[in-house]
């Protein structure tokens, strides 16, 4: 059975300027212990999907329409707020892009680490503090007792992200959502954080939803990938298959614009054009305007996500044409 299932999720925001359809008909799933990477440019709906799953979207502004998110067989969208809260930080944990601002500047590291332990594990404050120090040590920070008493502004970005990870794994979640976990960090630190995530995953058997715009991160960690563009999943498949045999022109563009070490390339191919305005998405394929393989009806009709091979799906008329 799947641990997490997104079934035709749609999220729209009502703003002064109009309705922004941030996520449309997004479906994907994550098996227990599996890492699903979600890639796309900023604003393509990756983070919104994750926040919808956590129930953390600003409520009157965001509308979640005709869809379901199932976690361990329970529908999260129908869950009473209090039960959903008990899942958060306990069975589903999340780490964010900016560790600097994601931690509370006026509480010590230890206090913040203790909170989920006290809330979900019902530990006494003393036991929670001991556990917090153990967790700090677990994510590879030296002198845990000292760090627990420190405040966020006294630590570096890499250390803070380790603390965030420690906080996320404190209740041994079944699913970890990592929203651009390495984007705000230096390159050398990025590698360390990825290594830590890989290690934890192996050890704790937890599934991960890895959200990033960096295909390198996906290659490092993910088992399967979903590529998102303008609020929709345009291609989905096992990571090896997708990297070796990308079918959607957008995926190909993403792969081509990535420098590959060792390969001599005169220059990187960039995808021309810009992401469409989320306030006025075209009726057809949203990528059509930038697509090198555009056909006549691409701008009018929208291709559905169709299965190509065993687990490889793509939403593109051109790709269908090839396989047909």
Partner 1 sequence: MRQFILRRLLMMVPTLLGASAVIFFLFALTPGDFVDGNYMLTEARSRELKALYGLDQPVLQRYLTWLGQLLHGDLGFSLQYQIPVTQLLDQYLWHSFLLSLTVLLLYWGLSLAIGISSALRPYSWYDRLVTLAVFAAMSFPVFFLCLLLIKWFAVDLQWLPVGGMQSTGSEATGLARIGEIALHMVLPVLALVMLQSGSLTRYVRASMLEALRLDCVRTARAKGLKERTVILRHALRNALLPLITLLGLELPGLFSGAIITEKLFNWPGVGHIHVDSLAARDYPVLMGFTLFLAVLTIVGNLLADILYAAVDPRVRLR
Give contact residues for partner 1 (rule: CB under 8 A): 54, 56, 85-90, 93-94, 96, 98, 101-108, 115-116, 119-120, 151, 153, 164, 167
Three-state SS at 258:
coil
CB nearer partner 1, residue 7 or residue 98? 98
CA gap 17, 13 in Å, rounded: 10
If phi > 0 it is left, if psi is from -120 to 50 it is alpha, else beta; for residue 310 that is alpha
Three-state SS at 296:
coil
Least distance CB 177 / partner 1 (angstroms): 9
Least distance CB 56 / partner 1 (angstroms): 6
CA gap 30, 293 in Å, rounded: 31
CB nearer partner 1, residue 107 or residue 308? 107
CA gap 84, 224 in Å, rounded: 27
**Half-sphere exposure (CA, 13 Å, Cβ side) for 309?**
11
CB nearer partner 1, residue 143 or residue 153? 153
Least distance CB 90 / partner 1 (angstroms): 6
Least distance CB 86 / partner 1 (angstroms): 6
Helix spans in the chain (H): 46-54, 81-87, 99-102, 109-121, 125-138, 144-149, 157-169, 187-204, 215-221, 239-244, 249-256, 317-323
CB nearer partner 1, residue 168 or residue 314? 168
CB nearer partner 1, residue 116 or residue 231? 116
Least distance CB 317 / partner 1 (angstroms): 39
């Amino acid at each position: 059975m799947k641990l997490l299932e997104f079934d035709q999720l749609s999220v729209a925001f009502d703003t002064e300027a109009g309705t922004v359809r941030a996520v449309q008909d997004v479906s994907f799933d994550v098996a227990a212990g599996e890492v699903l990477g979600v890639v796309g440019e900023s604003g393509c709906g990756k983070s919104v999907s994750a926040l919808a799953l956590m129930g953390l979207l600003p409520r009157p502004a965001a509308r979640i329409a005709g869809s379901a998110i199932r976690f361990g067989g329970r529908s999260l969208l129908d869950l009473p707020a209090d039960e959903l809260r008990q899942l958060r930080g306990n069975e589903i944990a999340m780490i964010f892009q900016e560790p600097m601002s994601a931690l509370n500047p006026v509480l010590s590291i230890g206090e913040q680490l203790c909170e989920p332990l006290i809330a979900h594990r019902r530990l006494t404050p003393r036991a929670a503090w001991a556990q917090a120090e153990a967790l700090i040590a677990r994510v590879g920070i030296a002198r845990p007792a000292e760090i627990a008493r420190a405040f966020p502004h006294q630590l570096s970005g890499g250390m803070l992200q380790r603390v965030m990870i420690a906080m996320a794994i404190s209740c041994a979640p079944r699913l970890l959502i990592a929203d651009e976990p390495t984007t705000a960090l230096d390159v050398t630190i990025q590698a360390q954080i990825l290594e830590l995530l890989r290690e934890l995953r192996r050890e704790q058997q937890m599934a991960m939803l890895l959200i990033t715009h960096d295909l390198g991160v996906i290659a490092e960690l993910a088992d399967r990938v979903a590529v998102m563009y303008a609020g929709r999943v345009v291609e989905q498949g096992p990571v090896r298959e997708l990297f070796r045999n990308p079918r959607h022109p957008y995926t190909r563009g993403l792969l081509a614009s990535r420098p590959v070490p060792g390969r001599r390339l005169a220059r990187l191919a960039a995808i021309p054009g810009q992401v469409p305005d989320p306030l006025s998405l075209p009726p057809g394929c949203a990528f059509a305007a930038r697509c090198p393989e555009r056909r006549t009806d691409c701008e009018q009709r929208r291709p559905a996500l169709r299965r190509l091979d065993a687990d490889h799906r793509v939403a593109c008329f051109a790709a269908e044409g090839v396989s047909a």
